[in-house]
Homo-oligomer: A and B are copies of this chain.
Amino acid sequence: MGRKKEKGTLIVLSGPSGVGKSTVIAELLSARKDIHFSVSFTTRQPRAGEEDGVNYNFVTRQRFEEMIANDELLEYAEYVHNYYGTSLRVIREELAAGIDVLLDIEVQGAAKVREKCPDAVCIFIIPPSFEELSRRLHSRATDSEEVIQGRLQKAREECRQVPNYDYLVVNDKVSEAAAEIIAILTAEGCRTKNRLNLLEGV
């Protein structure tokens, strides 16, 4: 009975703008260095300081359209004449190699992921309250009041998709939210269907 992991877990994280998702992800990845954060593909130009393969995989429009045609993408969208998407091929290769892969993705993209990868573990992060989300968005001081109201409206709409997610985590304290996600991933690793190989020697 080895403990070798046969297949990686695909982890989908969604949550409204301002919920503090990237802080939680940073804490999670620092505790679980074996998890690979999936880098999106995009056709837009790199901004100052952005690195190819780190912030995004920067590709030409022609290459991106090839990926669409070859059904290489798990999900994609076009914003302001630029494509953004997730490579299904890269993720499949990593999962097959036993690597856990984390996707930070919004609700529509997550719905497509669930369709193509029904085994994905889908986690939605909510704020402790909408008042707190509003406070966090205001404290960033980067957006106009109109933009903030738009984000709050969008957050309420996104939260309607919560019942489609496997797990719901409240980001009250970052360390607690990250600890819950780590527990979820440990538990998923203990699921009988992911461990039947342990019974082979029995």
Binding site for B on A (CB under 8 A): 1, 3, 123-124, 126, 128-130, 156, 159, 162-163, 165-170, 179-180, 182-184, 186-188, 190-192, 195-196, 198-199, 201-202
> With the chains together, A192 CA to B201 CA distance in Å?
35
CB distance from A195 to the nearest CB of B (A): 4
Q: Which of B1, B162, B183, B196 contacts A190 (CB 8 A)?
A: B183
Q: Which residues of B contact A130 (CB under 8 A)?
A: 201-202
Secondary structure of the A contact surface, majority rule: helix
> With the chains together, A189 CA to B191 CA distance in Å?
15
Q: Which residues of B contact A1 (CB under 8 A)?
A: 126, 128-129, 170
> With the chains together, A81 CA to B18 CA distance in Å?
64
Q: Which residues of B contact A202 (CB under 8 A)?
A: 126, 129-130, 156, 159
The interface centre, meaning the residue of A1, A186, A191, A202 with most chain B CB atoms within 10 A of its CB, is: A202
Q: Are A165 and B192 in contact (CB under 8 A)?
A: yes
CB distance from A100 to the nearest CB of B (A): 15
Q: Are B191 and A166 in contact (CB under 8 A)?
A: yes
Q: Are A166 and B192 in contact (CB under 8 A)?
A: yes
> With the chains together, A165 CA to B192 CA distance in Å?
7
> With the chains together, A36 CA to B202 CA distance in Å?
32
Q: Which of B162, B182, B192 contacts A167 (CB 8 A)?
A: B192
Q: Which residues of B contact A183 (CB under 8 A)?
A: 182-183, 186-187, 190
